[in-house]
Structure 1
Amino acid sequence: MRAARIVAALDAFRNAFPQVRPFYATKCNTDPGVLSVLHTTGARFEVASVEEIRILGTLGVRGQDVIFSNPVRAREQTRQASRAGVYRFAVDSREELHRVAEEAPGSCVYARLATGGRASVVPSEGKFGVDVRGAIDLLVRARDLGLVPYGITFHIGSQSLRPAALEAALGDVHTVLSRLVSAGIRLQMVDLGGGFPAAYDRPVPPLAAFGRAAAAGIAQLPYPVEVFAEPGRCIVAEAGTFRCRVIGVAQRPSGYWAHTDLGVFNGMMEVLESGGDLRYPIRDNRGSANRRRFHVTGPTCDGQDTYARDVPLSADLREGDEVLIGSAGAYTTVYASRFNGFARPRVVVT
């Protein structure tokens, strides 16, 4: 992981979203070295578990600089987060609202709106969220339970390719804010969520396009609010490169295969999640002019453990060569397991 690239990506996000306060989505890459770089730049953090809060705490991140956007938590997660100083919690059900009131009384809550997320490469939506009426109901009930009706959030889907999705979601936010005024509630915060794309092997819309869409939607809100966002992938993906070793090359009826000591189950899980739509830039250290198309596969015995197909690599690729996989800093090592007994990748921040 290249520290300078992480800092540059965060600066680029801030330039594209000048009205927005970024809270890095910790789940994207939880390596302490990566988090330390972000903390040094003054970033705040969004978490999904108490373990993430613990890691951040070891780096000196204060609970008040953290938001807890996982909208359904085991009650002990809410209790422990509150004890660590976290006071802002997402909710999307009455049951969760009551758990927050019981375990973190007086906290600020923000309701999560449902969105389609249909323009994203990695499916991530459909599990969470309520409609406009449900969000209004939750925030009114929050006040009745002694909580602070603090804000509204949504998520446009992971690796989103459609900036206009922000404007559509902010249209629903406008409705919520307007209707809550009649109930005597003015929210303090709108959270744009995450999903902002990183470059892999194909062009993606620039962050500036998402920033313009957000600015257009924010300008239409009925009154001023703080605006947050939860960038993750676009901050760390392009800073990371996997360096893996070729453990064998084989010619089969299905083509040429390059077997590496990296696979789906120890870092490349998003290839499966996206049905192969997420394609990483891949090259080898041999750099021969004569090229051949390879299927690049992992070390396990599982038939799903193939993370790239028809990749042009050096025709004379052989055992011991190195394969380099770009844009590997997001949602890779956090998914890594020891399936079949193979080691997890080691993270080095340079």
Structure 2
Amino acid sequence: METAEVDAFYALNEARLASVTREFTEHFLGRVLYAVKANSLPQVLRAVFRAGVGGFDVASLAEARLVRSTIPQARSWFMNPAKSRRDVEWTFRDLGVRNYVIDCEADLQKLLEVLPSHDPELRIYVRFNCGATSAVLDLDSKCGASPAEARHLLGLVHAQSRWTSLSFHTGSQTIVIEPYLHAIRAAIGIVEGVSPGPTALDIGGGFPGHYLNIPYHSPLSMLSNITKLMRGSEALKSIELLCEPGRALVSDSMSLFCRVILRKGGALYCGAGIYSGLTPARQYFQLPARAGRGGRPIETEERQDFIIFGPTCDSMDRLGFSYSLPRDLSEGDWIEFQHVGAYSETLRCSFNGFSVDKIVTVEEDELTESRGHSSDCS
């Protein structure tokens, strides 16, 4: 691809994505589901499936349809507690979905009215609120029953079907292991307090990506501690275990290359901003970044902290952190924002007519314009 055609493009390293996915699946005791919301590019879905994920966590009818059209043989788990009656009916009837989650009686009643109770493959996961968390983005304020409510819901599910399962989610970008261990212990208490017990436990996602402004703990080290706790639990030995990583698998497999289109002193205006791929960098995350010129990295000790703006006319189109980059950066140079594999492509839009619609697949971790193959982003 001639970079003169665009002012921003994505680079995807499928080999890196496959390697991280294989490591994760090898270290988890049960079935690994990929959270489609993190990055829904078809080439990403295919890569993680080939690397060993056991299915896909979908949050909508559209995501379930995407999985079916991309990988017809793959299974999907509908793990969004808020879903329409239409989406339940269509995912079951047309897409073969057999796994759903609830966190209240109203949603359970909806499923019982729509789904055939005689289907032996159906499973309903009761999601409970796992309490205090260190996650950057909390999810329990929106979803999850209390442990007592979860036991009640499990009883209601079992009274009308054989579908009972359990789930929790510690929140997005959980940076330490303690919330997982706390939630698993709570799950053990719930399992031991109901009879018959759930047939499966889904420990959710939330495993972290690596960003400059946040302490990083490897998801693999987290899985080691999780495995130790789960293997020592009699209550969990006889049930299926699942998890739903998204960010931890895909975050460092993509970069967003942005051309500098204007410099005003200590401010750089780039070919992409928070609307066109850099939403993760708006508030919470400082991305690793490096600069290039003429297809090569700029090697210099002369650096400066820059404010980064996107190309739109909106003053909110500004990254939340300053970036230390070569002091002599100017129009036409490139900035590579790394670790944008999660919640970048799925959140981008074409506000003001600016859109990043090209993706380059690369085989090496190099700042270069000449390697790789280009295609339209889906």
TM-score of the superposed pair, with normalisation by structure 2: 0.85
- Whole-angstrom distance in 2 between the partners of 1:78 and 1:349: 36
- In the alignment, what sits opposite 2:286? 279
Per chain length, whose mean CA-contact separation is higher, i.e. which structure has more relative contact order (CA < 8 Å, sep 6+)?
2
Within a 5 Å distance, the mapping from 1:56-75 to structure 2 comes to: 56-62=67-73, 65-75=75-85
- The answer to whether the 8 Å contact 2:276/2:355 transfers is yes
Corresponding pairs, count:
337
The reply to whether residue 237 of structure 1 matches residue 244 of structure 2 is: no
The reply to whether residue 340 of structure 1 matches residue 329 of structure 2 is: no
Match of 1:124 among 117, 134, 139: 139
- The answer to whether the 8 Å contact 1:25/1:45 transfers is yes
Moved over 4 A (4+): none
- Supply the AA of the counterpart residue of 2:287: Y
- The answer to whether the 8 Å contact 1:39/1:61 transfers is no
- The answer to whether the 8 Å contact 2:22/2:52 transfers is no
Pick closer, same or farther for the CA change 1:211–1:333 going to 2, 3 Å. same
- In the alignment, what sits opposite 2:272? 262
Q: Which runs of 5+ in 1 are unaligned?
A: none
Pick closer, same or farther for the CA change 1:333–1:12 going to 2, 3 Å. same
Match of 1:309 among 317, 321, 328: 321
- The answer to whether the 8 Å contact 1:237/1:329 transfers is yes
Pick closer, same or farther for the CA change 1:117–1:337 going to 2, 3 Å. farther
Q: Which runs of 5+ in 2 are unaligned?
A: 1-11, 363-378
Within a 5 Å distance, the mapping from 1:129-140 to structure 2 comes to: 129-140=144-155
- The answer to whether the 8 Å contact 1:28/1:232 transfers is yes
The reply to whether residue 93 of structure 1 matches residue 104 of structure 2 is: yes
Give the percent of matched residue pairs that are identical in Structure 1 and Structure 2.
Answer: 27
- Whole-angstrom distance in 2 between the partners of 1:345 and 1:308: 24
Deviation at 1:342, TM superposition (A): 1.3
The reply to whether residue 157 of structure 1 matches residue 168 of structure 2 is: no
Deviation at 1:116, TM superposition (A): 3.6
Deviation at 1:341, TM superposition (A): 2.0
The reply to whether residue 200 of structure 1 matches residue 211 of structure 2 is: yes
- Supply the AA of the counterpart residue of 1:233: R
Secondary structure, aligned partner of 2:33: strand
Secondary structure, aligned partner of 2:89: helix
TM-score of the superposed pair, with normalisation by structure 1: 0.91
Secondary structure, aligned partner of 1:333: coil
Deviation track 1:265-318 (CA, whole Å, cap 9, x = no partner) reads 12222234xxx3311001110414121111111111222211153311111111
- Whole-angstrom distance in 2 between the partners of 1:320 and 1:194: 39
- Supply the AA of the counterpart residue of 1:59: T
- The answer to whether the 8 Å contact 2:158/2:164 transfers is no
- Whole-angstrom distance in 2 between the partners of 1:298 and 1:221: 53
Deviation at 1:123, TM superposition (A): 3.6
- The answer to whether the 8 Å contact 2:281/2:321 transfers is no
Deviation at 1:36, TM superposition (A): 1.2
- The answer to whether the 8 Å contact 1:143/1:149 transfers is yes
- Whole-angstrom distance in 2 between the partners of 1:349 and 1:176: 46
- In the alignment, what sits opposite 2:372? none
- The answer to whether the 8 Å contact 1:117/1:155 transfers is no
